[in-house]
Amino acid sequence: MPILISGFLCSAGIADELKIEKAWIQSVPPTADATAAYMIIRNTGTQPFVLVGGSSPIAKEIQPMVTTRVKQNGNEILGMGSVDKLEIEPGATLVLKPGGNHLMLMDLLSHPKEGERVKLTIRFDPGNKAIDLDVPIYKQAP
């Protein structure tokens, strides 16, 4: 998957330190106002990074989310919580997956279908550094 470094905003290779794999966005019905982006982010560098959000032409807002799982009378309840950031320590891997942590694309502006690709920029602190991705749309987890 091509990873384009976002212009000169991005100083000496954040993309060298953060490896993005298997990124995809779930296609949802035209009536849906939200979807999610999933991927694996490996921090191969020596400093911690935090995923703070992103942007895409298909959504007004993109926010890191965690899926919460609470046991209540032996019954697991899944919920969501928006977080400001998802941390990735050096050498660690952040997995964004269905039923787990994810990037929530909110107030969708368009609803691309399976087979299409969309631009997705994800941002990391320190430095609000950007990685531009060209992400496939799938109906189901590949």
Between residues 46 and 140, which has the closer beta carbon with respect to other proteins?
140
Distance of alpha carbon 100 from alpha carbon 123, whole angstroms: 19
44 binds other proteins (CB under 8 A): no
Contact between 30 and 41 under an 8 Å Cβ cutoff? The reply is no
Distance of alpha carbon 118 from alpha carbon 129, whole angstroms: 20
Residues 110-139: x/- map of binding to other proteins (CB under 8 A)?
Answer: -----------------------------x
Nearest to 38 by CA among 55, 24, 54, 58: 24
Contact between 88 and 94 under an 8 Å Cβ cutoff? The reply is yes
Between residues 20 and 34, which has the closer beta carbon with respect to other proteins?
34
Between residues 7 and 81, which has the closer beta carbon with respect to other proteins?
81
Residues 58-97: x/- map of binding to other proteins (CB under 8 A)?
Answer: -------x-xx-x-xx-xxxxxxxx---------------
Nearest to 58 by CA among 103, 108, 133: 108
Which positions lie near other proteins, rule CB under 8 A?
A: 26, 28-36, 65, 67-68, 70, 72-73, 75-82, 98-99, 102, 104-106, 139-141
